Homo-oligomer: A and B are copies of this chain.
Amino acid sequence: MSSNPVADEEKDRLFVGALARGLRVLAAFQPGEGALSNQVLAQRTDLPKSTVSRLTYTLTKLGYLSQDHDTGYYRLGLAVLALGSTVLGSYDIRRVASPLMREFALDNTISVSLGMRDGTDIVYLETCRSQARVSVQLTVGSRVPLASTAIGRACYAILSPAERAALAPELAQRYGGDWPAVAARLQASCEHYAQFGYSESFGEFERDVMAVGVALPSPVPGMPVVCLNASGPAFAFNADTMRKQIAPALMQLARRIVP
């Protein structure tokens, strides 16, 4: 992350390792899976058993973990949920966007999501599905890559040159040798966005998923960028429909959310 090794060693006087280790334990839990044993946590976090034991003890006492009564295994506690909902509560775009997104999803029989950039990812703040059952469950809090998704490209397209420059090394690190190709694709995507006002990702992030994205014009420049996508299965939406029908509708949705 930090490229200066000297600064790293000096600054790390400020870094509270015990806190980082504890959070590593919390982050070891994957969505949808059950309770985890201390041992599993130890190998996932790459921490010694006794350390994990102490951390789980502490986290349990604070309510951030709860122990399964039978097995003694740990699951994330409800205190974590309170933190998460506080995050959502602090982004009031959701309150405005949510009902309009729902309407959009119903009108167009397509899924629509609202996200923010976090590094080289987009994090979903809200999603509305047209239909209940979808195989891949992307939900609030999910992360998708900036470079290969429509929503990410839309976000990238409206970054300032300075912000893009700041992001480049992170992307380069993430994509390694593929970075030149990815950079070229991003560049093309920006030009497309400048011309048409939306971005595309047709099967590039997930096979057989067609998506378009737009960014919400941020009220203050420099503020974190919020963006939207609309995505549906390729069997129901071809490129032409996405371009002629969905993209304009999504651009209009954006204008309704931020007038």
Interface of A toward B, CB cutoff 8 Å: 1, 14-16, 18-23, 26-27, 29-34, 53-55, 57-59, 61-64, 69-70, 75-90, 92, 99, 116, 118-119, 123, 125, 132, 137, 139-143, 222-223
A58→B99 contact, CB < 8 A: no
Known: A81-B141, A116-B78, A123-B78. A18 touches B19 (CB 8 A): yes
A70 to chain B: closest CB distance in Å? 7
A23→B64 contact, CB < 8 A: yes
Please name 30 pairs of A and B residues whose Cβ atoms are closer than 8 Å in the assembled complex, sorted by A. Answer: A1-B61, A15-B54, A15-B58, A15-B61, A16-B18, A19-B19, A19-B22, A19-B55, A19-B59, A22-B22, A27-B82, A27-B83, A29-B83, A30-B86, A31-B86, A31-B90, A69-B223, A70-B222, A76-B83, A80-B83, A80-B84, A80-B86, A81-B84, A81-B87, A81-B123, A82-B141, A83-B84, A85-B139, A85-B141, A89-B137
In the bound complex, CA of A32 to CA of B86 (Å): 7
In the bound complex, CA of A23 to CA of B65 (Å): 12
Residues of B within 8 A of A92 (CB): 32
Known: A83-B76, A84-B141. A90 touches B58 (CB 8 A): no
A19→B84 contact, CB < 8 A: no
B29→A86 contact, CB < 8 A: yes
Known: A89-B139, A116-B78. A16 touches B58 (CB 8 A): yes
Residues of B within 8 A of A21 (CB): 19
Question: Chain B: which residue is nearest A222 at the CB level?
Answer: B69
Known: A87-B78, A141-B84, A143-B82. A16 touches B27 (CB 8 A): no
Residues of B within 8 A of A83 (CB): 26-27, 29, 76, 80, 83-84
Residues of B within 8 A of A53 (CB): 14
A132→B84 contact, CB < 8 A: no
In the bound complex, CA of A34 to CA of B91 (Å): 9
Residues of B within 8 A of A33 (CB): 90
Question: Chain B: which residue is nearest A99 at the CB level?
Answer: B132
A31→B89 contact, CB < 8 A: yes
B90→A75 contact, CB < 8 A: yes
B19→A78 contact, CB < 8 A: no
A76→B86 contact, CB < 8 A: yes
Known: A19-B59, A222-B70. A142 touches B14 (CB 8 A): no
Beyond the given A20-B58, A27-B82, A27-B83, please list 19 additional residue pairs across the A-B interface where CB-CB is below 8 A: A1-B61, A14-B53, A15-B54, A16-B18, A18-B18, A19-B19, A19-B58, A23-B62, A31-B85, A31-B89, A32-B92, A78-B87, A79-B118, A80-B87, A81-B140, A83-B83, A84-B87, A85-B140, A86-B141
